[in-house]
Structure 1
Amino acid sequence: MNLHQLRFVREAVRHNFSLTDAAKALFTSQPGVSKAIIEFEEELGFEIFKRHGKRLKGLTPPGELVYKACERVLAELENIKRVGEEFAARESGLLTVAVTHTQARYVLPQAVAEFRKRFPRVRLVLLQGTPEQLAEWVRKDQADLAVATEALADEPGLVTLPCYDWAHVAIAPKDSPWLKPFLGLGARKMALTDFQGLPVVTYEPHFAGRRKIDAAFAKAAVQTDVVLEAIDADVIKTYVGLGLGVGIISEVAYDANKDALLDAVPLEHLFGRNTTRIAVRQGVFMRTVMVEFMGIFSPMLTPKLIERVMGGGQAYDI
């Protein structure tokens, strides 16, 4: 038994049981991977993989246990490497943070600026994607941290901590009648039924609380006319400004001064509040720069708190 065999098993599973893709990821040959796995199975005395001819089709029941053990062993090996890197260069190197557009554009800039002041020799990389992509990048060590609202708390293999809460707002051009009844002192709150028949511009379903929006309308049996979906709040604001419809965006993406041509009304009473979370891979060695970035982004995430919860469950609520 050797580390190469453990890596071959892990990559075979990660690449949907394609030995060709696993070999490419490991910069080796497909026959070499196949031979090593067969030798590993012979040494164990049972098959790790289900097969159809020469093709792998899945994991056998004992193979499931072997795969989980491979993941643990290789994760601890990576932690040993990280310990060495940490103490060789405590305040240099690379920190990769996976984020959605809203976080990167509206929330992270101040944290990034402060982090750069404290760690000028650390190269910071921001990877943008869907919440599901973010989680996968962290699980595969392609990112150190992930910041998003949707999905992270439900993703296996991650430890997630809450950072801040936010709600949605409705936006419309100042010269439009759509939000006039809900503006000013004494104005009534917007109701779900007020969206009936209105053209709506909002987030794509995987982003920024869109699922809660859809669930609220469905529960109230209100039919909405979504004329445009986007992952980018700036895109939504642009098309709302052109009169395409009423926008529903995160309140962190609206600035009364910068967005002076748009009216906004709060929608917390309709869609509730959302929690943005930061995630790390369960069992990962927490480098100083990771802990520091988390604390800068959300001051309630102290080093002691992070240390306490890292061995805990999938999602942690403060």
Structure 2
Amino acid sequence: MKLQQLKYIVEVVNHNLNVSATAESLYTSQPGISKQVRLLEDELGIQIFERSGKHLTQVTSAGEDIIRISQEILARVESIKAVAGEHTHPEMGTLNISTTHTQARYALPDVIKGFTARYPKVSLHMHQGTPTQMSEAIAKGTANFAIATEALHLYQDAIMLPCYHWNRSIVVPKEHPLAQKGKISIEDLASYPLVTYVFGFTGRSELDTAFNKVGLTPRVVFTATDADVIKTYVRMGIGVGVIASMAIDKEQDEDLVAIDASHIFGASTTSIGFRRGTFLRSYMFDFMERFAPHLTRPVVEQALSLKSSSEIEEMFKDIELPVR
């Protein structure tokens, strides 16, 4: 059994059982991957994949267990490399972050600026995606950190640490009737078409929850993953915008009126997540503290020692998080 074989079967699953796409991503040949998969199956005496002709059709029940263990082994191999890097070149390495547009555009720029100045030899890569894609990224090891508001519930081995609370603002053109109103109620919002985030993004669930509590249904006419896109359609008169308050740019959005909506919607919490068992480099601890000052190395290490997400939630319940 070779590590290369384990990597091949994991990558085949990551590429939806498409051996050709797997070979292309690994810069190798399709026959070479097929041969190594067969050799591994022969050695184990069990099928990892079911086939129809030359095509892989699904993972067998035994294969699912083998894939899971292979992912854990490959993650450990990466941890060994990280340990070596920490001792030989502590200020060199790579940091992959998976997040949403709102975090990348409004929450992270100052953090990234300070981090890259402190660690010029660390290669930093940011990937924008959905909560599902972020879950997959930390599960597969293609991202070191995922920064999200919606819980990454699809991946049970993710450790999620709360970073800050935030709420929403209503945005309308200056001539809109709501711009002249004092305090806006949820009933006011219900009478207008809304432009907001796609469900599953940037705390969208809180909007639906608020309307459901009072027996109303929001008339959402346009959704997007990007607050800047939402503001563009507000300017076009498509509807009333509901976006994260941090996404208001006083200079670029001076043509819009932003109205605080924290009395209408419950606050959301942004967290940073990573795979349990990951070896965290010193610069990774530093990044977390820059993003969320209460996440000092001792605090993170204490959270790492806990066995469940409920224990982590209990640990942070008395820590006052910043509000953005």
Interval of TM-score (by shorter of Structure 1 and Structure 2)? 0.7 to 0.9
What SS does the corresponding residue of 2:23 show, helix, strand or coil?
A: helix
Q: Distance in 1 between matches of 2:282 and 2:132?
A: 26
Distance 1:261 1:8, change over 3 A: closer
What SS does the corresponding residue of 2:143 show, helix, strand or coil?
A: coil
1:173 pairs with 2:157: no
Q: Which residue identity is paired with 2:80?
A: I
Aligned equivalent of 1:100? 100
Q: Distance in 2 between matches of 1:17 and 1:257?
A: 48
Aligned equivalent of 2:297? 303
Q: Distance in 2 between matches of 1:151 and 1:58?
A: 28
Q: 2:198 aligns with which of 199, 204, 207?
A: 204
Aligned equivalent of 2:56? 56
What pairs up with 1:50-199 in 2 under 5 angstroms? 50-181=50-181, 183=182, 187=183, 190-199=184-193
Q: Which residue identity is paired with 1:65?
A: D
Q: Distance in 2 between matches of 1:146 and 1:167?
A: 20
- For normalisation by structure 2, the TM-score amounts to 0.85
The Cα shift of 1:88 comes to 2.3
Count of matched residue pairs: 312
1:274 pairs with 2:268: yes
Q: Distance in 2 between matches of 1:44 and 1:147?
A: 39
1:4 pairs with 2:10: no
The 8 Å contact of residues 157 and 314 in structure 1, kept in 2 or not, is answered as no
What SS does the corresponding residue of 1:212 show, helix, strand or coil?
A: helix
- For normalisation by structure 1, the TM-score amounts to 0.87
1:32 pairs with 2:32: yes
Cα distance per residue 1:192-225 (max 9 Å; x no partner)? 2222331222222232112331343345443433
Q: Which residue identity is paired with 2:223?
A: E
Q: Which residue identity is paired with 2:70?
A: C
Q: Which residue identity is paired with 2:26?
A: L
Q: Distance in 1 between matches of 2:228 and 2:18?
A: 40
Q: Distance in 1 between matches of 2:68 and 2:190?
A: 50
Distance 1:38 1:239, change over 3 A: closer
The Cα shift of 1:99 comes to 2.1
Cα distance per residue 1:48-79 (max 9 Å; x no partner)? 22333443232333322222221111111111
Aligned equivalent of 1:254? 248
Q: 1:291 aligns with which of 285, 291, 302?
A: 285
Q: Distance in 2 between matches of 1:294 and 1:154?
A: 22
Coordinate RMSD, CA, aligned: 2.5
**Quick one: percent identity of the two aligned structures?**
41
Aligned equivalent of 2:239? 245
Q: Distance in 1 between matches of 2:44 and 2:83?
A: 31
The 8 Å contact of residues 71 and 140 in structure 2, kept in 1 or not, is answered as no
Unmatched segments (≥5 aa) in structure 2: 317-324
Unmatched segments (≥5 aa) in structure 1: none
Cα distance per residue 1:284-309 (max 9 Å; x no partner)? 21111111101110011111222233
Distance 1:234 1:25, change over 3 A: closer
